[in-house]
Structure 1
Amino acid sequence: MSDVYYAAAYWGGRRESAEECAQRAATFFSLLSGCHSDYGRWYEKASSRKKALQLHFEPTRETFVRFFSEKKYQSGDDGFSFSAWTGHPGNQGGMVLLGCGEGGERVTNLAQLYFPSEPPGINELVRLPVLSRVVRAMVLAWEPDWAVVTPRSFREQVSETELPGTFVGWLTYYSRQWGEVPTLPEPVQVELVEDKGSLVVLTPEQLEAANANHLVLGRRVQQVLAEAGLLRRVGERG
């Protein structure tokens, strides 16, 4: 089995109503459907694959308002949580996890997408053009502080912590409020995501923890970002 690649966006406490979260969720799924055809059909999670395949839903604002009115999708004092998957067998599909609407100083809201770890899905989806569109969908829908796309093993080797905001991935996004991204060594590219923030692309080729050059580059970039004050936990003040 190949490495586990995932995309995740995080933001600190931001209290939002069910209607506001529903609109963001609908926008996210709509943008996600334009990233790849696999993201055009979704199912609620359930205790078995057979049961989940009976829970197909259309990811509209009205659907999410209904979901977030149900107790099973409410989280904490004022937040909402939700998970869905694409219906593909085994590790060939995708899964979304959402946690939104919670306020408070120590709260971290999130949107996560796990990619296939087996072919053909991993070959079609774990490609830079698709991943870049996924991050942009997360940013435009959720307006996070920080976002990342990375293989899990790479994260484990370049960072002593898994805390959001404290490491660099294949793609790493910083909101404008997070701080200005400094000049980074080649082949790193920095792209603007509309007026929201900056997307750091570590390498144009597929990032792999087994590639020693990728690990060296990742640690070097982390050092530069740390010196610029950009490596800090989501929710902490810069």
Structure 2
Amino acid sequence: MQDKYYAGAYWGPRQETALECARRAELFFHMLARCDPTFTQWYGAGRGFPRELPGWPVCPEMKELETLFLKGRNRTDVGREVIEDLGFRQFVWNSKKEATKLHLSCGKYSPCGGPNLCLLYPPKQGAVRERLLRAPVLTEVLTCMATAWDPDFAMASSSEMVDLMEEGEFEVRVGWLTYLSRRLGTLPPLPAPVRIEPVGTLGWLLVLSPEPMTAGNPEHVALTARVRELLDRAGLIERPQPEPASE
């Protein structure tokens, strides 16, 4: 069975308006469109969209994205009241079959309910999947996420590898490719063949291998574990647990 890969960026509580999130999303979508031809048009849910399309076309411009985020506000089950501190969330995709899917959650400043995030899920099979699961492409994808969303960390990996490596809920995830914000601390020396690339002045991108790393390969597991250990010793893995809301 093949590993299930994804790319994700994560950051802690950050109070932002729908317009501020839309400004980041506009930059993200425009940068992402340069990573692969299938990333130029996205679609969202809604009633009455043309049957030949995967959904309602998403216009990646700031005002339209602000409206989209406002539609994705979290609400209470009873009364459907807006929960301001849980921010905004949206799901979009780019085709009917073999779709890449995006999950965006931003503007959240509650210590509860998980982090803000940007997740990209490649297709489960097909030529597009094979094209996306290459280190140069995922390097560009993570650079887009880091530049637009300014996360604490981001990574591209398989779910299976994450399950092997992750030791706690509140920690930086280390994967095939890993982005670390300079906010986290100082990067230690890392063993070959790890390649370190700066992402502007924001942080560093670590590429552990030019080829996809799998949880079924002992050498891949050992290298990922070693990198995680060195980052942990440097204080870059553990993240502070969210403080409970004061009454």
User: Fold match, TM over 0.5?
Assistant: yes
Task: Mark the structure with the bigger radius of gyration.
Answer: 2
Matched, 1:84 2:84: no
Give ranges in structure 1 of 5+ residues lacking alignment: none
Once superposed, what is the RMSD of the aligned Cα atoms? Answer: 2.3
Judge conservation of contact 2:59–2:65 (CA < 8 Å) in 1.
no
TM-score, length basis structure 2: 0.86
Percent identity over paired residues: 36
**In 2: Cα distance, 1:181 partner to 1:164 partner:** 19
Aligned partner of 1:101 among 80, 97, 107: 107
Q: 1:87 to 1:169 in 2, by over 3 A?
A: same
Give the Cα–Cα distance (whole angstroms) in 1 for the partners of residues 234 and 138 of structure 2. 26
Contact 2:42 2:93 in 1 (8 A): yes
Q: 2:185 aligns with which of 179, 187, 205?
A: 179
Deviation at 1:201, TM superposition (A): 1.1
Give the C-alpha shift of residue 233 in structure 1.
3.2
- Letter of the structure 2 residue corresponding to residue 196 of structure 1: L
For structure 2, the residue ranges without an aligned partner over 5 or more in a row are 75-82
Asked if the contact 1:21/1:101 (under 8 Å) is kept, the reply is yes
Distance in 2 separating the partners of 1:34 and 1:164: 32
Q: 1:109 & 1:158 partners in 2: Cα distance?
A: 21
Written as runs of structure 1 = structure 2, the 5 A alignment for 1:69-148 is: 69-70=70-71, 73-75=72-74, 76-78=83-85, 79-89=87-97, 92-106=98-112, 108-148=115-155
Cα gap change, 1:54 to 1:45, in 2 (>3 Å): closer
Q: Does structure 1 conserve the Cα–Cα contact (< 8 Å) formed by 2:91 and 2:101?
A: yes
1:200 aligns with 2:199: no
User: Residue in 2 aligned with 1:64?
Assistant: 65
State the SS of the aligned residue for 1:69.
helix
Contact 1:136 1:193 (8 Å CA) reproduced = yes
**Is the Cα contact below 8 Å between 2:53 and 2:96 reproduced in 1?**
no
TM-score by length of 1: 0.90
Matched residue, 1:152 = 159
Distance 1:155 1:69, change over 3 A: closer
Relative to structure 1, the CA distance from residue 124 to residue 217 in structure 2 (aligned partners, 3 Å threshold; closer, same or farther) is same
